[in-house]
Structure 1
């Protein structure tokens, strides 16, 4: 029975994720020139979280945490292309027993655990075996993209669709959707950032973002009134930084946010940070010429996502789906774009790990908080519990390390966020970083803890990093080796130890079952040590 604290469940969830989208590149998060009215309208209908943090600083690790509701150390997929163990439960695994369809349109970065499937006798090509290989999602229209130039792409739905539209060749994803054309018709590869200001050689309606939106609409039409969760996962604004016309030319250098970096950051920098600055992408993004060419196109890709979401939201309103659907909008991480003399991601500055998060609950219980901004510390592992809660389904605490956001969405008295949030990564996969430090692979783990005031990054066998987020919100001054802050560092190290001790120890047994274990033994007549 429903009561004042347990509202009637919703029927659907639309779970939108962009890839590599910085929170500050949305107008509702403060960008002065890049207007995103449809995402802003979403924020006006729900709650916008200003301090939401991803649990991984690269695509794969972050997404696996979001899909499992578990920290990276718990699910074990530390980096891209590391298989997600078949022993982990994901969103789809929690939904299917209750008759809720869990489908994917777009990207997941789930790497199949084929070894685990074969060990268990599962067929990874069909049935439950295939679902396990897809991270629990029905691959309605999976497209992870990122096909290198010269690669012969076979069996990819988007590439096959492009060929049917007349974009011929072995790799239309690269040759058309993510490359421009020179004056003599030569391919200007999107993998070369110097061509980022050229339009993709493709009709706008045939580019990745509209294609993905079309497949989401197809799914909603097909699914009808049955319960579903749709993960709509846009691959953009992730590189290659190539946009179709007119999005390639909507913005210029004068529209960009000022770069956040200082010369002082480069003096006696942390050795891991210095290693990432040596990488090609960081050296290039440290040049104004590169930023002035790439960042406006990045902005155009964000604008295209917003336009396509406007089209999708209009369709949902026409169908009445907006009245019974929880909508979650977020990103897996951000993009340095030259901030801190860095490119790409992988470290823990806010442009990377603080992600946009907007949640719209259409129920009347959420009306009081509609259109508000929450500064509570929350994590992306909170999303699976929030979705299960919205659908009125159990939240197995033995598996889930996040917590439902419903108290914050509904304005419950005393509702608050967390005391700290956590993000993890490993630099074991980066030779430019690991080899100069002579660090073995198993000692390359990095763990970030963020409280309301402090951000602390722990490295094995290396000094930590520490930032005062109140006095230095741009994270320009690393206090990790400053003797004056030794006490703060000790306190943060204690919080890290506390966090590690609180990890789920019994993921396959519910806490209530453990609490009843001894009484069940006695009732069964198991009298250990009786005389």
Structure 2
């Protein structure tokens, strides 16, 4: 058995043709999807990049591992303590090691471990190819390494290869010679309403419509596909086209990889999984070109699995990406680890079982904001513990069936549903704390560690020059006043007075 895991950073599923997108962004992924089981309700439990991939390979929630953010204590695993033997939990129980135990040669083509100093990401891998640019690679820089590896190993069996493609990740960096394939294709319907952009232009916070560059509206001349500020419809189109072109560029690379497998006679017998670490907000919650919340759009990921002899079709139940670890063990005859938080959905692949999945999923974000949410039925209930300078209320509620782009917060008018969401989230949290007491060296929720340390890394007033430093925040609040958002600036100054004081 050969398994190819294609990890396309920041890939939101609803911008793929096989998930219903109207733009032709993914002809090659769509061709794989026609031979696959497509999971339409798959989420990362912990966003963004580092927490998601840590959860995926460890098979555990961030609340258990301690990895929930991009800086501070929440960017490092919890010390294992006295139970730590010659090997740690990542090495002993991670997906990579379990695949090795089944006789797989595990290989990775990715700079991710170095990008985030997440060296546990490599646990259980025989072979690591760091493409060297820390996530700023475009596909033309990654493809030669992938093609060389496939050529070298085409005669070998029982390998698992993880490859990273980065092109949809901000800043949108597809080479200019690729052109703009979407310049004459309409924007998504909901963004064609000018009132949406007008409403967003009044909002405050990093990566808002007038601050796409995080805390400013500056453009980077090295990345002309990404505007610094969305002052008009043409700039909005430029941003959406930039993202979608990144998806198409990555898809073109996927097509070349698939052709290599076909030329070697390996395509039919190779299991192919297409997924991502997280999505990308493109106007949802008023945020653009970022993956900074615990919402539907940031946390939902594609999960497309072409399994030799497996079923094809659509599974719409809820899943986590970390459910893939026990699923692979079931499919390959391995053992699910007691420490894992995942649940196998192998039945969906083996027999097409449409009931294989969960009734709810809990989502977390501690890099840009400190939030947790619970997703069930048509509902998304969000609780905010640090707003990341977005003025989010403590709780938000969205009916995703009627409002998939999260524009209408129903918390004030639906208190009973909010109560149910809070109860569901509390029930999940209680279960996690009980499990933590059994398997971890402490009983500390890392979300609260992030808050105690001053907030999420990308919104923390630490050293001068950091985007979230006190000096930078004061300058940002001045910018808000100078761009017609003085009311929002006043509210932020009041809410975060202690964080910007001398």
Q: 8 Å contact 1:103–1:229 — kept in the other structure?
A: yes
Cα distance, 1:139 vs structure 2: 4.8
When structure 1 is superposed on structure 2, of 276-285 and 305-314 the one drifting more is 276-285
The match for 1:468 is 399
Inter-CA distance 275–112: structure 2 relative to 1 (3 Å threshold): closer
Q: 8 Å contact 2:15–2:21 — kept in the other structure?
A: yes
Give ranges in structure 1 of 5+ residues lacking alignment: 1-10, 114-130, 148-172, 178-207, 431-443, 509-531
Secondary structure of 2:46's aligned partner: coil
The match for 1:209 is 139
The match for 1:407 is 347
The match for 1:281 is 213
Distance 2:13 2:70 in 1: 22
Distance 2:306 2:109 in 1: 20
Aligned to 1:337, which of 278, 282, 285? 282
Cα distance, 1:255 vs structure 2: 4.1
Deviations 1:183-225 (A, max 9, x none): xxxxxxxxxxxxxxxxxxxxxxxxx313323322322333332
Cα distance, 1:30 vs structure 2: 1.9
Inter-CA distance 413–53: structure 2 relative to 1 (3 Å threshold): closer
Cα distance, 1:289 vs structure 2: 4.1
Q: 8 Å contact 2:4–2:270 — kept in the other structure?
A: yes
Distance 2:336 2:21 in 1: 36
The match for 1:377 is 318
2:53 matches 1:63 = yes
Distance 1:297 1:280 in 2: 13
The match for 1:448 is 373
Inter-CA distance 507–22: structure 2 relative to 1 (3 Å threshold): same
Cα distance, 1:459 vs structure 2: 2.5
Inter-CA distance 338–475: structure 2 relative to 1 (3 Å threshold): closer
Inter-CA distance 275–220: structure 2 relative to 1 (3 Å threshold): closer
Distance 2:94 2:259 in 1: 30
Inter-CA distance 387–415: structure 2 relative to 1 (3 Å threshold): same
Cα distance, 1:248 vs structure 2: 3.0
Deviations 1:81-137 (A, max 9, x none): 523465434221222233322111124346447xxxxxxxxxxxxxxxxx7473433
TM-score by length of 2: 0.71
Distance 1:31 1:263 in 2: 21
The match for 1:324 is 269
Deviations 1:476-502 (A, max 9, x none): 11122x1x4222111111111221233
The match for 2:419 is 490
2:358 matches 1:358 = no
Bigger Rg over Cα = 1
Aligned to 2:248, which of 303, 309, 319? 303
The match for 1:225 is 156
Aligned to 1:391, which of 312, 319, 332? 332
Cα distance, 1:264 vs structure 2: 9.5
Cα distance, 1:275 vs structure 2: 6.4
Distance 1:144 1:51 in 2: 33
Secondary structure of 1:460's aligned partner: strand
Secondary structure of 1:236's aligned partner: coil
TM-score by length of 1: 0.68
Q: 8 Å contact 1:112–1:133 — kept in the other structure?
A: no
Inter-CA distance 255–139: structure 2 relative to 1 (3 Å threshold): farther
Inter-CA distance 74–285: structure 2 relative to 1 (3 Å threshold): farther
Q: 8 Å contact 1:286–1:338 — kept in the other structure?
A: no
Aligned to 2:68, which of 56, 78, 93? 78
The match for 1:420 is 360
Inter-CA distance 240–268: structure 2 relative to 1 (3 Å threshold): closer
Give ranges in structure 2 of 5+ residues lacking alignment: 79-87, 218-227, 387-392, 441-502
Aligned length: 398
Distance 1:279 1:136 in 2: 41
Q: 8 Å contact 1:248–1:296 — kept in the other structure?
A: no
Distance 2:322 2:344 in 1: 9
The match for 1:42 is 32
Q: Superposed, which structure 2 residues align to 1:121-200 within 5 Å?
A: 132=120, 134-143=122-131, 145-146=133-134
The match for 2:445 is none
Secondary structure of 1:358's aligned partner: strand
Inter-CA distance 466–49: structure 2 relative to 1 (3 Å threshold): same
Inter-CA distance 248–135: structure 2 relative to 1 (3 Å threshold): farther
Q: 8 Å contact 1:21–1:331 — kept in the other structure?
A: yes
Distance 1:413 1:35 in 2: 29
Distance 2:8 2:146 in 1: 14
Secondary structure of 2:45's aligned partner: coil
The match for 1:512 is none
CA RMSD across the alignment: 3.0
Inter-CA distance 134–303: structure 2 relative to 1 (3 Å threshold): same
Q: 8 Å contact 2:47–2:299 — kept in the other structure?
A: yes
Deviations 1:373-398 (A, max 9, x none): 221111111122222233221111x2
The match for 2:174 is 243
